[in-house]
Amino acid sequence: MRAVLVKAIADLRRRRLQAAVIFLTALLAVATGTMALTLMSQTRDPYEQAFAAQKGAHLQVGYTVTDPKPLENTPQLIGAAVAGGPYLSASVQYEFGSQKVYMLTMGRDNPGGDIEQLRITSGRWPTNTSEVALTRSFAELNHISVGQQLKVVSVPAEPLLTVAAEVVDIDEGTADLSSQHAWVLSSAISALATKSDLFYWMTYRFAGDPTDAQLQAAVNEIRAALPPGTVGGSVNYLLIRSVFNITNQIITSVLIAFSSFAILATAAIVANLVTGIVISSYRDIGIMKAIGFSPSDVSAVLLLQVLIPTGVACVVGIPLGTLGSQPLLANSAQALGLAYQPTFSPWLDVAALVGALAVVALAASIPAVRAALLKPAVVIAKATAPVGRSGRVLRALASAMRLPRPVALGMGDALARPVRTILTILAIFVGVVTVMVAMGLPRSFTAINDSETNAGHVDVQITRSPALPDSAVMNILQAQPQTDYVVAEQGLNMIVPGIGDAVNARVFRGDATKLGYLVVAGRWFSSAGEAVAPRALMGSAHLKVGDRFTVSVSGKAVPLVLVGEVYDISNLGQTLFTDWSTVASVLPDFQPFNYRIKLTPGADVDAYVRNVAAAQPDLLEVRKNDTSLIGPVKIIDNVLFAIAAVIALIGIAGIFNTLLLNTRERVRDTATLKAVGMSPRQVMVMVAAAAGLLALIGGLIALPAGVVLNRFLLDLISGSAGNDTPPSTYGVFASWELIAIPVVTLLVAMAAALVPGRWAARTNVIEVLHAE
Amino acid sequence: MSPLVQLVDVTKVYQGGITGALNGVSVTVEKGEFTAIMGPSGSGKSTLLNMVAGLDRPTSGSVVVGGTDLANLNETGLARFRRDHVGFVFQFFYLLPNLTALENILIPAQLKGNAADERARELLDRLGIKDVADRFPARLSGGQQQRVAIARALINSPSLLLADEPTGALDTHSGEQVMELLAQLHQQGQTILLVTHDAKLATRHAARVISVMDGKVVDDARLETGEHAPSEVLRLRSEEAAR
């Protein structure tokens, strides 16, 4: 065994560059894989920990009643172990700085209790009627701190409230993805809303972890037991958990997919390298056997040559991957108000180490076993394995095309060893596919974001205070010559058959086709009684495009026909979209709350915002339409970019490795060619031609695969947000890019060929031929 | 006759070498000569040939071939020089294993950008290996491989044919055939510079034998005239003739 180790270490010293290639590729693959494993093992944990620690509510229900007495029996009715509330609540509009925002504000006298504990992260619970507690997520997003004052603008008195506490509430999503709650003392809430806007909010916690169906059944039981229209809306913990986890879930899916790619590419490179070592070491292997190495010793020497650098790569890569996943875990822990603790799992690290070594050993085992079976007398005589003739047809073709001889020779070399060719193309393929996905997905995200934010279709958004009538807002807008069109909107809760929770509906007045929402199937609504919905809602309500169904709005039946499927991730696909005329007959006093305005071409948006805000500074919140990407999407884009860079590097290492092996194996041929008159430049052209051909083949095969994988991942991501992918977001690559991708691959490969090319060009003819 | 190769006071010291591989060698080879450079292993004869081929540069002294001072050429220039003016035949043939015999022969012409199929086939015919044109080197005998290598060396009609132990890897019969071939080429006007450690071969076919020992020319015999013929060379030649 000692002899095996001594020989393996000596060979490693001799093949330092090859060991470096194994180390680098294994390091990148192991770090990515460890990151994926760490995230995967931790994705659900932080939420579940926080949910348990803060006794999160499995179900929250809003009741439009004036007397809370009938609500007292609801916990027993649905078998809840603990209940919170009823809390008198209202949707209250706050103003701070130039912003105005609505928050569901509840009257609650303490943050503790047996359910939905609010963890104070800053300040203390409100002690008088002029104090308010906010979520930390909201405070951080809007740069509000304890002690700052907010003005309530939804009531004419416009009272000022001082922020007394920042809390973490496990029963709502983060502020960048969800609307937020606020809390005042129960004695303070009545003064913050008109009597008609007040309602009661209750929270329920069950003994186990109820399923979605069980929670829907519970809501249905409550609805059946109370007068019609009493249940205004409900939220269950599964939806909130999904909102919390969606970023990590997407990142984890992407990381798992691409770390598998990285490991595959590394395995290809390792197999290629060991095959190369065997091919170039025939004489060495023969001598080893001749002096007493057994076949298994020979295999062990070769395996150790890849396992040692891989082991070192694991020692560096596993901590790196674990460290790399920490910011994402910290982000998720921070959102949940958990104290972030670096997460290390020794078992997971051991699994990553064993996995990496096993994959590499497996990749190296076939050539290592082949080496063990070689007959000593034959290999000593041959010195190296005979070169294949696979490149002959290609060389002949290149000659027929009158390509320069160095190019033809290089092309022939590229295919001379079929296994090496395939393994190299595999590494290139993986690199190109990843880069395509890293290019494509962010573009699809941007297209989706543009649809969600109405980018290009809406320049200004206005939120109206209830104190200002809709007609006044429209008068102000119509008085502005720069107003091109206005689409007004109001949210509404509807009861949709088959769905326990009240469904949030977005009702539009004006031509909502102009807002640029992406329609997946069917068409946008165009008249009263028509609606569109995302896939999640369609699935929950068992609807398909063309179906007729009846919803209940404030206890009144409204017949609808689903004319299209829309893409909308804002509520994880659980929102219904319809026209104003659909609900006008059942809600004659229904008024829009939000106005989306497109300005005439060339209009000054800032000046428009100033002018409209000046018309009603207290009652209108006027802002430029914010079309920037939300934080989680930015994180996903960055992670994708980093992974693509890693795998592209592995792909380049694959090409480099193959050229290195080729040029070293062909050193005698190169010396001969130089002796018969091949110039250094021609030698470089020959090496570059081999690289170029492999890259071109890899790039061309990767093109359709990249497009398909892009579609697959986009579908996966859309699906996890409750949507089908809009067909228009698939076409992220321009025709010229589909041509440019293999061309750039070719150029990168040729650049990677520079170093081995230069080595080949500098071949010392005398030394090489003398050594023979 | 005009000089084709002129080595003037050429010295070559390899890195780490205490003594030089060549120590002040001066040799002139005329056009049309068949010159053999003879000497034991390590005497410097191959180094001398490499200098003439532009495969190696002298530590000092000058090498002029066909009026070109090789010191003035960079690597590309030397490659072009070899391609245009020199044909090189190696002891171990050094055919490219993945090319057929014909493809191997064509390589130097193709590197020049010339299509020389006709000349290649003519050479195959002339060297008696017409029927192996499409075979790969692994399927050729040693003698056939060396003939292919000679054809490759001749494809660009070089003014100088260099042969480094061309029979060293061949059996006696094949070796004889190769030497006969070189002699025929010489008779057709080809200048040949042959390196060998085999005195018999050197004296039987070459018109001039330069003996090298420890990096120095120790003898330069023009055998056609008997001028300066060293006794050892002449003894070997007469033994050969008596056989």
Report the DSSP beta bridge partners of residue A561: A530, A548
Compute chain A's Rg from CA coordinates: 33
pLDDT tens by residue, A137-160: 889 888 899 999 999 987 888 899
Q: Is pLDDT above 70 for A43?
A: no
First to last CA, chain B: 34
pLDDT tens by residue, A339-389: 666 767 788 889 889 998 998 899 888 888 888 887 766 666 565 555 555
Query: Shortest CA distance to A661 belongs to which of A702, A697, A690?
Result: A690
How crowded is the C-beta side of A488, counted as CA atoms within 13 Å? 15
Q: What is the pLDDT of residue A523?
A: 94
- Nearest Cα of chain B lies from the Cα of A678 at a distance, in angstroms, of 6
Both tokens of A343, joined, read: 């997460």
Both tokens of A308, joined, read: 């040692």
pTM, two decimals, is 0.74
Q: Cβ contacts (< 8 Å) between B53 and chain A: which residues?
A: 675
Report yes or no: A261 and A430 within 8 Å, Cβ to Cβ: yes
Both tokens of A293, joined, read: 């190495």
Report the DSSP beta bridge partners of residue A182: A105, A134
Name the strand (E) or helix (H) holding A605: helix A605-615
Q: Is pLDDT above 60 for B226?
A: no
Cα gap A135→A334, rounded to integer Å: 12
What order do you get walking across the sheet with B34-38 strand by strand? B86-89, B160-164, B191-196, B34-38, B208-213, B216-222
Question: Do A677 and B110 count as a contact with CB atoms less than 8 A apart?
Answer: no
The set of residues, in sequence order, having a beta carbon less than 8 Å from that of A451 and lying 6+ positions away, is: A516, A517, A518, A567, A726
Interface test with A, best of B57, B93, B98 (most A CBs within 10 A): B98
Interface test with B, best of A676, A686, A769 (most B CBs within 10 A): A676
Q: What is the pLDDT of residue B241?
A: 47
Cα gap A181→A175, rounded to integer Å: 10
Query: How many other CB atoms are there within 10 angstroms of residue B146's CB atom?
Result: 30
Cα gap A196→A183, rounded to integer Å: 19
Q: What is the pLDDT of residue A298?
A: 86
- Nearest Cα of chain B lies from the Cα of A400 at a distance, in angstroms, of 12
Which among B56, B80, B95 is the nearest to A679, CB-wise?
Answer: B80
Question: What average pLDDT score do residues B222-230 get?
Answer: 57
Q: Cβ contacts (< 8 Å) between A404 and chain B: which residues?
A: 113
Q: What is the pLDDT of residue A66?
A: 84
Three-state DSSP at B23 gives strand
Spell out where A437-547 has E strands: 460-464, 483-494, 503-509, 519-522, 530-533
Q: What is the pLDDT of residue A502?
A: 72
Report the DSSP beta bridge partners of residue A343: none
pLDDT tens by residue, A167-195: 988 888 777 767 789 999 999 999 998 88
DSSP secondary structure of A666-677: THHHHHHHHHTT
Report yes or no: A606 and A98 within 8 Å, Cβ to Cβ: no
Report yes or no: A136 and A54 within 8 Å, Cβ to Cβ: no
Question: Do B94 and A680 count as a contact with CB atoms less than 8 A apart?
Answer: no
Question: Do A669 and B50 count as a contact with CB atoms less than 8 A apart?
Answer: no
Q: Is pLDDT above 80 for B30?
A: yes
Which among A386, A388, A679 is the nearest to B76, CB-wise?
Answer: A679
Confidence of residue B238 (pLDDT cuts 50, 70, 90): low
pLDDT tens by residue, B44-88: 888 899 899 988 889 999 999 999 999 999 888 888 899 899 999
Query: How many other CB atoms are there within 10 angstroms of residue B28's CB atom?
Result: 14
Q: What is the percent of chain A with per-residue pLDDT over 90, rounded to a whole number?
A: 33
Cα gap A272→A660, rounded to integer Å: 11
Q: What is the pLDDT of residue A739?
A: 92
Q: Is pLDDT above 50 for A483?
A: yes
Confidence of residue A660 (pLDDT cuts 50, 70, 90): confident
Q: Which residue do the tokens 């809406």 mark?
A: A458
Q: What is the pLDDT of residue A588?
A: 85
The set of residues, in sequence order, having a beta carbon less than 8 Å from that of A753 and lying 6+ positions away, is: A655, A659, A684, A687, A688, A690, A691, A692
Q: What is the pLDDT of residue A3?
A: 76
Q: Cβ contacts (< 8 Å) between A395 and chain B: which residues?
A: 99, 103
Weakest-pLDDT range from A123-127, A209-213, A282-286? A282-286
Q: What is the pLDDT of residue B228?
A: 45
Both tokens of A454, joined, read: 């109405």
- Nearest Cα of chain A lies from the Cα of B238 at a distance, in angstroms, of 34
The set of residues, in sequence order, having a beta carbon less than 8 Å from that of A433 and lying 6+ positions away, is: A261, A702, A705, A706, A709
Question: Do B90 and A769 count as a contact with CB atoms less than 8 A apart?
Answer: yes
Question: Do A766 and B55 count as a contact with CB atoms less than 8 A apart?
Answer: yes
Name the more confident of B216 and B115.
Answer: B216
Question: What average pLDDT score do residues B171-191 get?
Answer: 87
Query: How many other CB atoms are there within 10 angstroms of residue A573's CB atom?
Result: 25
Both tokens of B120, joined, read: 């290649």
Q: Cβ contacts (< 8 Å) between B82 and chain A: which residues?
A: 675-677
Name the strand (E) or helix (H) holding B27: strand B22-30
Q: Which residue do the tokens 């040692």 mark?
A: A308
Both tokens of A20, joined, read: 């470096």
> Does the beta carbon of B56 lie under 8 angstroms from any beta carbon of chain A?
yes
Report yes or no: A178 and A172 within 8 Å, Cβ to Cβ: yes
Q: Is pLDDT above 60 for B236?
A: no
DSSP secondary structure of A376-421: HHHHHHHSSPPPP-TTHHHHHHHHHTT--HHHHHHHHHHTSSHHHH
- Nearest Cα of chain A lies from the Cα of B208 at a distance, in angstroms, of 25
Q: Is pLDDT above 90 for A162?
A: yes
DSSP secondary structure of A621-642: EEEE---PPPHHHHHHHHHHHH
Name the more confident of A93 and A583.
Answer: A583
Question: Do B88 and A676 count as a contact with CB atoms less than 8 A apart?
Answer: yes
Cα gap A525→B70, rounded to integer Å: 85
Question: What average pLDDT score do residues B212-238 get?
Answer: 68
Both tokens of A635, joined, read: 């994180």
Note the Cα A595 to chain centre separation in Å: 31
Query: Shortest CA distance to A570 belongs to which of A487, A714, A443, A454?
Result: A454
Q: Cβ contacts (< 8 Å) between B88 and chain A: which residues?
A: 675-676
Average pLDDT of the residues of chain B: 85
